[in-house]
Structure 1
Amino acid sequence: MPVHADDTDSLGADERVRPTWTEPLARAAAKPLGGPVGRHAAVGRQWFWTPLRVVLLLAVVTLSFAYLQKSPCIQQYVDANGTVQLDWRGSKQFTALCYSDTVPLYTAERLDKPDTFPYKTSWVDDEGKPTEHVRYMEYPVLTGMFQWLNARMAQGWTRIAETGWLPNPMTVIVYFDITALWLALAWLVTTWAVVGLARRRPWDAALVAVSPLVVVHAFTNFDTLATAFATAGLLAWARKKPLVAGVLLGLGGAAKLYPLFLLGPLLLLCWRADRMKAGLTTLSATLATWAVVNAPIAYLYPDGWREFFRLNTERGVDPDSLYNVVAQWTDWRGFDPGLLPGQAPEVLNTVSAVLFLLCCAAIGYVALSAPTRPRLPQLGFLVVAAFLLTNKVWSPQYSLWLVPLAVLALPRWKPLLAWMAVDALVWVPRMYFYLGVENKGLPIDWFLGAVLVRDVAVIALCVLVVREVYRPSLDLVRRTGDDDPCGGFLDEAPDKRVLRVPRRAAPRHA
């Protein structure tokens, strides 16, 4: 009888993967603690320090370092006029590598004004210039409301603090602290869900807990909300709760778009295994949840609701995109030279969309032609990685999307930590490029080179995943006796529909 994702307590000692036996990094890290676990050690008997609790403790420590990494940007000082100011003097946000979108967005999105409401409140950017245009909250509905609620809580704290009962820093600092608390809890949920999804390999979730990307980007933006919903949705699917999975994925899609990309791989695998009823239940619940969250804002404030889609349509290439790397290192002027303000780069948008769809078609071919049905995280990782590589925007915190999927798809500690370290280090040349050469910053070539190395690292992980899809004997998860711990209805299901690829017969020799 196969063990389900919520039955890990019933695993025997021989059924649990011991990383100090299988991973050289874990073996080396265990030396100060007595070395690898012994062959006759009692495994699974500890009543308190379970793998889940240890991994969550590691995540708390890592998130503490993440807060310290951003802390230089939430200091204040009193200027010559006796006014308390946020201490970003001398471009500290770049020189201290502590920049976070949450701080400037507090005023940029008009969250500092108590009489405003996201998607209803508008303002004018570049007033009096040819580029003048009306703006609204630029984030998806759930993320926009998350910011607004945190701002209201921060302002409430300030009002109470004025009575002398509480410490009274600047409201924007309180706003950052409240936001960071929720984002940290969201990453803990992400880590918890990965432990449940890993089944026999719970210690793999330690890579999620201690990822260098968490130190740098957990509080750069609001993306841990989406990773929490997406990973919890996968856990609900693994536990054969398709309706709950759909609700969670729908909430994730209302926070960031990427959780919706997981539906494609899920439906493809359901089709291959003839489990479409469960897949369509999840799809329907996802779309219904997304619609329920978005409908009130779309109906009441349609212009504000469309702002997220408008900005993503009209924006050009992001500094972190491959398109920008090519443009900067060649004389190429891009797909849409000479655009006017507010004019969408239609050719760039088309090329980006077509490349992503071509990648999805290739992943679909892999899903249906592999000799053994791929595991859900393998395809999910490939789709999200393809989106990031082909998209015109790769904001640095987007890399957090890949972390839980990569750990579940390819639990090989050395290549994963190597990629995470490289990806996290892109932050350094990025910040010093933004500082400007005139301010002793770095020229753009350092930043572009780091971006290229990161992209090559992600492509290398994709190659390793595809290799293990076509050679399941190399898949560490399947070596332990599992089929697909994240598969839910797909786990141990027989293949019903397989794309048979004709092979050329070997030539006959006379």
Structure 2
Amino acid sequence: MSTQTPDPADVPAPAPSVPPTRVDPLARAGSEVLGGPAGRRLGGDGPWWVRALPVSVLLAAVAFAVGAVTKHHCRAQGWNSPDQFVHACYSDLPVVYTSSGLASGLGPYADGVSLDQPPVTAVLAWLVARVVPHEVTVAAQRAYFDVAAVLLLLAALTVVVAVRAMTGRRRGWDTVLLAVSPVLVLTSLLSFDLVAVALATAGLACWARRRPVAAGVLLGLAVAARTYPVLLLVAIVLLAVRSGRRRAAGVTVAVAAGAWAAVNVPFALADADAWAGFAGAFLAQRAGYGSPWVLPQLVQQAVGASGATGLPGGAVVVLTLGAWVVWTLLVAVFVLWAPRRPRLVQVAFLLVAGCCVLGAAFPPQASLWLLPLAVLAVPRWRDHLLWWAAEAAYFGAVWAFIAGQANTDRALPPELYALVLLARLAAVAWLVVQVVRDVRHPVDDPVRATRGLDDPSGGDFDRAPDALVVRVA
């Protein structure tokens, strides 16, 4: 049997990328400020430096730098209350360093250290502390913040590269939605959450490239850094059930469990109480900022009730866990019922959005969990602009409200804070509605409406036939 090498002239050229200014009405209208829609040279036909990935990396670096500039007041004067809230430059990074015991040179789970963080995040916080002065001073806070900022910049760029790997050849310019997002500008330096987001997004990128073992390792480490990535594994399992492609999904879940155990078991054996501190903190918490469960307390404050405490802590935990279970079941039914198999990132976004909106707290940095998933699941500029506006408004409102707890002369009224909080939740709910609509009507999905694309981030699920579909009367 002989083989014949095909003539290069007979091999079809790869389909060109699709800049959003050609297919998105809002992006096209906005491009008029910069000279009009993208032409032939901005994309696959132009030099490498004007292609989607280099441009997105550059824009993300600029966005990160702008975010660092917004912390200048605190970096110069120190992170002191209520000043850090009045100037909206608060960050967990230096505050936790000087308040947790790390500044004394103690380990991540040593006696006297209170991080309440999963192991990967706790160890990372400790490693940064090892290279800065062990003292409770403004200079030590600044040094800790600067070192952490370098690591978080690398994490942000990793997220950009991973998202680009999942967009598919023709949708590469969707990555710009991530690079210019105010969510990245405002929240990337609030905590180490961006590291977990980078691990989780890189894990999904490996899944998209059909590397289940690498995906499992990265997703397992992501769960060991921040718990939410377990929902990405749930999304993979749900689509494995629908498509019948269970082998790769099983490998990824098993490897993820092994990676998580490899990180967690040594700490659990060394000091179980210290290791379980972050879980205990969840079970003991009351309703936090950003959560719908804090609204009763805001109502009490608005009507002038003395000693307003809102819902009891136990009730908040029960409501949160119950809401998460119900939402996960609803998403599972939707995945198995939808007329066409949803894309992986659509399912992941639905699960993570429910976790955020229904959680006991929804801090500003938790929006980073949603950012790469939203870019891939809902690549429409109109929808992102609505979400960005709500996130920016909430970012200012929450710090003003917290500052008002100590300085009533500059307080934000609880009813106004509640209104902005509801607007933020509504913006996330709007993105959820758009995902549901796109799944039910694939012709409206910008990705599936692009010729030749089914589920570019789906890995084994891409172009897979259905094995199980549930029909609900």
* Alignment pair present for 1:418 and 2:386: yes
Question: What's the CA shift for 1:427?
Answer: 1.4
Q: Structure 1-normalised TM-score?
A: 0.84
Q: Structure 2 CA distance, aligned partners of 1:117 and 1:317?
A: 30
Aligned residue in 2 for 1:120: 110
* 180, 185, 204: which one aligns with 1:215: 185
5+ residue gaps, structure 1: 1-9, 77-85, 124-135, 159-167, 337-344, 503-510
Structure 2 equivalent of residue 63 of structure 1: 64
Measured against aligned partners, the alpha-carbon deviations of 1:159-198 in whole angstroms (never above 9, x if no partner) come to xxxxxxxxx9812211100001101110110111111111
8 A contact 1:382–1:462 mirrored in 2: yes
2:99 is equivalent to residue 108 of structure 1: yes
Match among 412, 415, 418 for residue 445 of structure 1: 415
> Does structure 2 conserve the Cα–Cα contact (< 8 Å) formed by 1:238 and 1:487?
yes
Deviations 1:408-454 (A, max 9, x none): 11111111122022112211111111111523221222211111000
Distance 1:313 1:51, change over 3 A: same
Residues matched between the structures, number:
452
User: Distance between the aligned counterparts of 1:185 and 1:109, measured in 2?
Assistant: 25
Q: What is the rounded CA distance, in whole Å, between the counterparts of 1:405 and 1:32 in structure 2?
A: 28
Give 1:406 deviation, angstroms. Answer: 0.6
Question: What percent identity do the matched residue pairs reach?
Answer: 37
User: Could you tell me how far apart the structure 2 residues matched to 1:40 and 1:154 are?
Assistant: 46
- Deviation at residue 39 of structure 1 after TM alignment: 6.6
The letter of the residue matching 1:192 is V
Q: Which of 496, 499, 506 lines up with 2:467 in the alignment? A: 496
Please state whether the residue corresponding to 1:258 is helix, strand or coil: coil
**CA contact under 8 A between 1:368 and 1:498: conserved in structure 2?**
yes
Match of 2:122 in 1: 144
Q: 1:12 to 1:33 in 2, by over 3 A?
A: farther
1:428 aligns with 2:419: no
Q: How does 1:155-194 map to 2 (within 5 A)?
A: 155=133, 170-194=139-163
Task: State the Cα deviation string for residues 94-148 of structure 1 (Å, max 9, x = none).
Answer: 221111111211111111112x11112226xxxxxxxxxxxx3311100011111
Larger Rg: 1 or 2? 1
Contact 2:108 2:115 in 1 (8 A): yes
Residues 40 and 291 of structure 1: CA distance in aligned 2, closer, same or farther (over 3 Å) = closer
1:405 alignment partner in structure 2? 373
Could you tell me how far apart the structure 1 residues matched to 2:408 and 2:471 are? 60
| Preserved contact between residue 355 and residue 390 of structure 1 (Cα < 8 Å) | yes
CA contact (8 A) 1:207 1:417 kept: no
Residue 87 of structure 1: CA displacement? 6.7
Find the aligned partners of 1:362 and 1:499 in 2 and give their Cα distance.
Answer: 13
In structure 1, how many angstroms separate the alpha carbons of the residues matched to 2:73 and 2:25?
36
Instruction: State how far apart, in whole Å, the 2-side matches of 1:149 and 1:314 are.
Output: 28
The answer as to 2:332 corresponding to 1:358 is no
Q: Cα 1:38–1:217, aligned 2, differ >3 Å: closer, same or farther?
A: closer
Query: Which amino acid in the other structure matches residue 442 of structure 2?
Result: P
- Would the alpha carbon gap of residues 235 and 483 (structure 1) be closer, same or farther in structure 2, given more than 3 Å must change? same
Cα distance in 1 for partners of 2:472, 2:280 equals 42
Query: What is the root-mean-square deviation of aligned Cα atoms in Å?
Result: 2.2
Q: Greater helix share, 1 or 2?
A: 2
Spell out, residue by residue over 1:215-263, the C-alpha distance to the aligned partner (whole angstroms, 9 max, x if none): 1110011110111011101100000001110100011111100111111
Q: Give the AA of the match of 2:103.
A: D
Query: 1:193 corresponds to which letter in structure 2?
Result: A
Q: Structure 2, unaligned stretches of length 5 or more?
A: 1-10
Q: Is the 8 A contact 1:137 1:304 kept in 2?
A: no
Mapped partners of 1:171, 1:352: distance in 2: 38
Q: 1:181 to 1:41 in 2, by over 3 A?
A: closer
**How far is the alpha carbon of 1:334 from its aligned partner?**
4.6
Q: How far does residue 13 in structure 1 lie from its aligned partner after superposition?
A: 7.0
Matched, 1:395 2:377: no
Contact 1:13/1:42 (CA < 8 Å) preserved in 2? no
Contact conserved, 1:13 with 1:43, CA < 8 A, in 2? Answer: no
Distance 1:357 1:309 in 2: 18
